[in-house]
């Protein structure tokens, strides 16, 4: 009969997670299964079956994601795994085709994911739309630039206070940066505040701090401290889990708190924004060791709704032929995009630009550049048109997804 794809219920959670664990390298426990089910949308789960046995997994979160100048529904593609016994048999393709049908049924114009392997998802139309920067700063090079603002006051808060103070601040500011998404109450509780000892890597439980100005929270930090001693001197590590500010002073205050922790040799922060103010706050930014990784990948499933649902930095009118590698189809669209409003209509006019849906997804959030992809031969169009598209699609701040899902 071969492999088939279909829904899977919570009653098969143990088998579903065991199949995931085979691919991702973890063993699921009762506690893990219970916590997973608190936020996982089982009605959107899919499994690949071989003789009734689960050999592949896939799911989706129903996100509201920030795009340049607005928000749109977005399927958060997640828990994609295939058993090692069933690799290279088309199982992933079957599951993704089923997933895309589900996304369209939910009227979501976008799907997004974090790629466990960066070579996989382009052939299914996901484009690398954002990057994250891992940063490490030595405690001996944390002086601020002479033009840095005076840091806002910060204070440590308990986990209970953090539950009250941080989510409202996040929700007030999540629409400012493409790549953020709304977090539900269960998501905060079971993803952001969950703090099992097994996940600490030898460090402390989470510490929480907030910056406050004029009686209002203007930023927060969530971090751990990992103790280390060298010849009697403290050489610990501050590990920043999340740090967000809304004013120059709050960024300065929270960065100062993380950088100037006593008994510390280094400060680490993973998946930071390319626009992170830390780099401009430091007097010696080259001393911050950085590693850039791909983060959010975006697939456009409804071209008109996706493009009409974001804002643009300049007007552009262009006819674009789009190829979707998932099913090999081509479609041609007239993009009339401007800061005042946009329309995207199907047309039979000769195209000025030819692009794969992967690269349209990569450019969609404002990070990737049409000119750069054209120079690499991945898309085709004249220089003037590609430059105009770059001017229209560029956005500040750059996209940043602060959380792996």
pLDDT in tens, 142-178: 999 999 999 999 999 999 999 999 999 999 999 999 9
Q: In what order do the strands lie in the sheet with 216-226?
A: 154-157, 207-213, 216-226, 236-245, 264-272, 131-138, 289-294
Q: Look up residue 396 and give its two tokens.
A: 């500040």
Task: Give helix 383-393 / helix 357-364 axis angle, nearest 10°.
Answer: 40
User: Are 192 and 184 in contact, with CB atoms under 8 Å apart?
Assistant: no
Domain 4-108 is of which CATH architecture? 3-Layer(aba) Sandwich (3.40)
Domain 133-294 is of which CATH architecture? 3-Layer(aba) Sandwich (3.40)
- The answer to whether 4-108 and 133-294 have equal CATH topology is yes
**CATH fold for the domain made of 302-393:** Nonspecific Lipid-transfer Protein; Chain A (3.30.1050)
Question: What integer pLDDT is reported at residue 399 of this predicted model?
Answer: 98
Beta bridge partners of 144: 282
Residue 332 DSSP label: E
State the chain's mean pLDDT as an integer: 97
Residue linked to tokens 């993380």? 258
Low-confidence ranges of the chain (pLDDT < 70): 1
What span, in angstroms and rounded, lies between the C-alpha atoms of 60 and 39?
A: 11
Q: What's the predicted TM-score (pTM) here?
A: 0.95
Question: What integer pLDDT is reported at residue 1 of this predicted model?
Answer: 67
Question: What integer pLDDT is reported at residue 74 of this predicted model?
Answer: 98
What is the domain partition of the chain in residue ranges?
Answer: 4-108, 133-294, 302-393
Question: What integer pLDDT is reported at residue 147 of this predicted model?
Answer: 98
Q: What are the distances in angstroms from CA 348 to CA 181, 331, 332, 392?
A: 36, 9, 7, 23
Q: Look up residue 385 and give its two tokens.
A: 């048109």
> DSSP string spanning 344-402?
EEE--SPPSEEEEHHHHHHHHTS-S-HHHHHHTTSSEE-HHHHHHHHHHH--SSPP---
What span, in angstroms and rounded, lies between the C-alpha atoms of 377 and 265?
A: 45
**Residues designated as active site:** 121, 405
The per-residue pLDDT for range 325-373, each reduced to its tens digit, is 999 999 999 999 999 999 999 999 999 999 999 999 999 999 999 999 9
């Amino acid at each position: 009969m071969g492999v088939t794809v279909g829904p899977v219920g919570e009653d098969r959670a143990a088998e579903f997670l065991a199949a995931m664990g085979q691919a991702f390298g973890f063993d699921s426990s009762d506690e893990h299964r219970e916590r997973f089910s608190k936020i996982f949308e089982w009605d959107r789960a899919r499994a690949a079956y071989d003789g009734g046995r689960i050999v592949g997994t896939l799911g989706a979160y129903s996100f509201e994601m920030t795009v340049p100048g607005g928000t749109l529904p977005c399927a958060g593609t997640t828990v994609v795994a295939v058993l090692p016994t069933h690799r290279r048999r088309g199982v992933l393709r079957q599951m993704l085709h089923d997933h895309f049908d589900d996304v369209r049924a939910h009227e979501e114009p976008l799907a997004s994911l974090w790629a466990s392997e960066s070579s996989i998802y382009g052939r299914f139309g996901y484009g690398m739309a954002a990057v994250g920067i891992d940063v490490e700063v030595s405690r001996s090079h944390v002086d601020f630039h002479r033009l840095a603002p005076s840091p806002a006051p910060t204070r440590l808060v308990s986990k209970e206070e953090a539950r009250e103070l941080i989510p409202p601040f996040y929700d007030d500011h999540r629409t400012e940066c493409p790549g953020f998404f709304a977090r539900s109450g269960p998501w905060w509780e079971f993803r952001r505040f969950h703090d099992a000892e097994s996940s600490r890597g030898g460090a402390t439980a989470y510490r929480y701090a907030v910056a406050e100005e004029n009686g209002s929270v203007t930023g927060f930090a969530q971090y751990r401290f990992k103790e280390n001693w060298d010849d009697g001197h403290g050489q610990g590590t501050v590990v920043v889990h999340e740090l967000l500010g809304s004013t120059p002073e709050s960024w300065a205050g929270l960065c100062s708190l993380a950088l100037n922790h006593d008994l510390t040799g280094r400060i680490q922060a993973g998946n930071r924004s390319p626009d992170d103010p830390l780099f401009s706050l430091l007097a010696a930014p080259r001393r911050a060791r950085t590693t850039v990784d791909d983060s959010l990948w975006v697939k456009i499933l409804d071209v008109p709704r996706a493009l009409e649902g974001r804002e643009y930095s300049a007007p552009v009118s262009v006819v674009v032929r789009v190829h979707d590698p998932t099913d090999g189809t081509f479609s041609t669209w007239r993009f009339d995009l401007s800061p005042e409003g946009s329309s995207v209509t199907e047309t039979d006019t000769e195209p000025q630009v030819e692009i794969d849906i992967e690269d349209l997804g990569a450019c969609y959030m404002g990070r990737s550049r049409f000119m750069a992809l054209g120079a690499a031969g991945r898309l085709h169009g004249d220089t003037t048109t590609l430059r105009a598209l770059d001017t229209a699609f560029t956005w500040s701040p750059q996209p940043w997804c602060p959380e792996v899902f």
